[in-house]
Structure 1
Amino acid sequence: MTRMAFYGSSLVSSYWNGAATYYRGLIRALAAEGWDVTFHEPDVWDRQAHRDMDPPPWCRVNVYPGTSEGLECAASRAAAADVVVVASGIGHEDDALRRAVLDRAHPAATCIWWDVDAPATLAELRAQPLHPLRRDLPRFDAVLTYGGGDPVVRGYREMGAALCVPIYNALDPETHFPVDPDPRFEADLAFLGNRLPDREARVRSYFLDPAAAMPERCFLLGGSGWADVALPANVRALGHVGTGDHNAFNATPLAVLNIARDSMAEVGFSPATRVFEAAGAGACLITDAWEGIDRFLAPGSEVLVARDGRDVIELLSGLTRDRARQIGRAARARLLAGHTYAHRAREVGALLAGLRDHKRHKEVLS
């Protein structure tokens, strides 16, 4: 059994942690393929106080104190792993942790930098020639990313990465599936996302402005950080929505809206976890326009695409409950056929096996 040490933001809490469902789906699928995974996460950002799952049977979870001592202790456990993964956006001394893990990993281990926000990371690297990640990249055997397509692959290769492969979000059908409507989430259009500086303007354009223009319709806003934002009277804010409520949140409204962050919308090929969660629950998804959507869902029949807020108004105005159900069913069928985390885990497993074989071959030759 291959041992993996995975250092990330959090597996057990989705609080201010949009990558949680990505980690859960992927690691659960890797465990089903025979991987022995330990997830190391710091106790920071009040995430442990907002846990929405217990440590699962398919992965050990090491929650370490958000201190220098806690970081060093967690990093030392990399020495026992065959594959060591360090993710971006952990939230506590990320540069120090990355260096400490690389220093302590076994020389024969395969080391992976897993970037869950690659467009933003690459923008930082281009702006900062002395960024610590530039120094560390050559020590990783490969870079895996949350998405981004060819632009992200080219960007990381230009920065010195030996190999860069996007591993896209996917559907975990054991977690996201259709459920009965829940009165708490009745709405014509719902959006779930934390308030972030690089997405707030797009939320206003695609969600709040259409709501103001459609006072007869009901809009639902989920996510943290919106409490002090002036909202139209027909927008109901829920605050943080735990993952246990995601299926009902997605299955109940007439339609669910996806809004990409600025960098991901610009680069394209970066479907958010929300896309797969909503479609997996059978939701009729309206997404903002970004290049590559047709790689995952067919515009018009499996997803509705809006170029701006005016398109959102037009799409919502002409949407019937029957057509919404038809689109939701078609989207779920498409994802089950080719975009589940089982598909992604097989891809990752084959990639890592190839990297291990290549590394062993190099050691023999040297």
Structure 2
Amino acid sequence: MTTSLDIVFLGLSLSSSWGNGHATTFRALLRGLAKEGHNILFLERDVPWYACKRDLPEPDFCKLAYYDDIQTMLDVHGSHILAADAVVIGSYVPFGVEIIDEIAALKPKRLCFYDIDTPVTLAKLNQGDEEYLAARQVSLFDTYFSFSGGGVLTTLERAYGAHRAIALYCSVDLDLYANTNEPFEWDLGYLGTYSPDRQPTLECMLIEPARRMPHLRFVVAGPQYPKHVDWPQNVARIEHLPPARHPSFYSRQRFTLNVTRADMVAAGWSPSVRLFEAAACGTPVISDYWRGLNEIFPDGRAIYIARQTEDVVSLLSRVDETERRLLAAAALNIVAQDHTGCARARQFAAALKNLPINVQPRQQPLRSIQA
């Protein structure tokens, strides 16, 4: 294999960050790969809910192509898929099970899965829910790249037959995320789409502190929150915040809140991209607890871990500006060393280069391909 890789991704979305965390995760990784000299084609199903809310319709770091159905995608891009050094299919891709079967039947040189939802995926498979990945398909991949590390990797290999499970955490592009030096507007903020399993923690860690501290200012940005949520008067709401506005949003907060989905708390070792984005912007993070968080950001030195409302109230009351800045600097240093898009791209490319090329005769796909 040459130094420069030709990689095809089939992912949920690159063009739109509306209601999903996949777009920003892919953008940081793919920008890093482009900086490292690799060539990328990203295939995205053209669906109306993303088509009308695209904030990156024409990326400058890869080729982005849309498709309407699987047959069209194979007809137009089948030859590229066969010639690529690696094909990477992501989680939550529409009709993912069918796409995986079709691509696997082509026998590409290297076939990988990038699960940006690993704990959710495993919970679904345990319940017999095969929305975008079937249990039988895990062993089809040369490598299963996982959003989560720790014991999840062992589970993937031992319980589901993954040939090789590797942690590939989210990352952040430091060229795009940095402090904007704007004055503070809020004491505590949160960025995230509504999720029923996250809402109790948001109530505990932000909404209730807002009620107890009416003299402070809070903000929640993200779509799909139900009308019945009782927002205190000192909590501002922003319906949707595109990635280009994230640095300004983080920079205007004294602290930002990280809330983790229940499946990811249970799995541990599942850092949200929001952790890295906020740290890159020099904003200290208050986070709920999960196993492995201390290994990435040491508690009290690079992050504040809170377990109840009183913890948040105490932090907002007692942490002075000197301590706040020191903690923010420590978190930024960790991100700059280990969690940038370029760092993740090098890790990803090295893993691909270590995989042997598939030399089995290529089988006909389940659908015919027009070369």
Name the TM-score, length of structure 1 as normaliser.
Answer: 0.90
Task: Please state how far the C-alpha of 1:221 moved relative to its aligned partner.
Answer: 0.4
Residue correspondence of structure 1 range 1-366 to structure 2 within 5 A: 1-44=4-47, 46-65=49-68, 67=69, 69-73=71-75, 76=78, 77-90=80-93, 92-106=94-108, 109-128=109-128, 133-147=134-148, 149-157=149-157, 158-181=159-182, 186-226=185-225, 228=227, 229-356=229-356, 359=358
Aligned length: 354
Task: Please state how far the C-alpha of 1:105 moved relative to its aligned partner.
Answer: 4.5
Q: 1:222 to 1:326 in 2, by over 3 A?
A: same
Q: Does the 8 Å contact 2:139/2:160 carry over to 1?
A: no
Q: Does the 8 Å contact 2:70/2:99 carry over to 1?
A: no
Q: 1:200 to 1:35 in 2, by over 3 A?
A: same
Question: Counterparts of 1:74 and 1:213 in 2: how far apart (Å)?
Answer: 58
Equivalent position amino acid for 2:329 in 1: R
Deviations 1:151-210 (A, max 9, x none): 211221111111101111223211111112167xx1110000000133222222222222
Question: Counterparts of 1:31 and 1:206 in 2: how far apart (Å)?
Answer: 39
**Counterpart for residue 366 of structure 2:** none
Question: Counterparts of 2:6 and 2:338 in 1: how far apart (Å)?
Answer: 27
Q: 1:159 to 1:75 in 2, by over 3 A?
A: farther
Q: 1:46 to 1:130 in 2, by over 3 A?
A: closer
Equivalent position amino acid for 2:55 in 1: D
Q: 1:74 to 1:293 in 2, by over 3 A?
A: farther
Which has the larger share of helix? 1
Question: Counterparts of 1:73 and 1:308 in 2: how far apart (Å)?
Answer: 54
**Counterpart for residue 365 of structure 2:** none
Q: 1:4 to 1:171 in 2, by over 3 A?
A: same
Question: Counterparts of 1:44 and 1:54 in 2: how far apart (Å)?
Answer: 13
Aligned-partner SS, 2:52: helix
Question: Counterparts of 2:259 and 2:76 in 1: how far apart (Å)?
Answer: 35
Deviations 1:1-56 (A, max 9, x none): 42111010111211112121211111111122221110111122521222222422
Q: Does the 8 Å contact 2:250/2:278 carry over to 1?
A: yes
Mean CA deviation greater in 111-120 or 329-338: 329-338
Q: Does the 8 Å contact 1:80/1:105 carry over to 2?
A: no
Aligned-partner SS, 1:249: helix
Q: Percent identity?
A: 30
Task: Please state how far the C-alpha of 1:222 moved relative to its aligned partner.
Answer: 0.2
Q: Does the 8 Å contact 2:20/2:193 carry over to 1?
A: no
Which runs of 5 or more residues in structure 1 are unaligned?
none
Q: Does the 8 Å contact 1:81/1:105 carry over to 2?
A: no
* Structure with more contact order per residue of length (Cα contacts < 8 Å, sep ≥ 6): 2
Question: Counterparts of 1:167 and 1:41 in 2: how far apart (Å)?
Answer: 21
Question: Counterparts of 1:204 and 1:301 in 2: how far apart (Å)?
Answer: 26
Question: Counterparts of 1:312 and 1:74 in 2: how far apart (Å)?
Answer: 53
Question: Counterparts of 1:24 and 1:317 in 2: how far apart (Å)?
Answer: 37
Task: Please state how far the C-alpha of 1:316 moved relative to its aligned partner.
Answer: 1.3
Deviations 1:104-132 (A, max 9, x none): 343xx100011111011111112218886
Equivalent position amino acid for 1:211 in 2: A
Question: Counterparts of 2:129 and 2:196 in 1: how far apart (Å)?
Answer: 24
Question: Counterparts of 2:212 and 2:48 in 1: how far apart (Å)?
Answer: 36
Task: Please state how far the C-alpha of 1:330 moved relative to its aligned partner.
Answer: 2.0
Q: Does the 8 Å contact 1:289/1:307 carry over to 2?
A: yes
Which runs of 5 or more residues in structure 2 are unaligned?
362-371
Question: Counterparts of 1:189 and 1:303 in 2: how far apart (Å)?
Answer: 14
Equivalent position amino acid for 2:289 in 1: A
Q: Does the 8 Å contact 2:88/2:111 carry over to 1?
A: yes
Equivalent position amino acid for 2:7 in 1: M
Name the TM-score, length of structure 2 as normaliser.
Answer: 0.89
Q: 1:265 to 1:354 in 2, by over 3 A?
A: same
Q: Does the 8 Å contact 1:191/1:258 carry over to 2?
A: yes
Aligned-partner SS, 1:175: coil
Question: Counterparts of 2:238 and 2:204 in 1: how far apart (Å)?
Answer: 20
Aligned-partner SS, 1:122: helix
Task: Please state how far the C-alpha of 1:139 moved relative to its aligned partner.
Answer: 1.4
Question: Counterparts of 1:191 and 1:105 in 2: how far apart (Å)?
Answer: 44
Q: Does the 8 Å contact 2:150/2:268 carry over to 1?
A: no
Question: Counterparts of 1:68 and 1:348 in 2: how far apart (Å)?
Answer: 27
Superposition CA RMSD, Å: 2.1
Aligned-partner SS, 2:194: coil
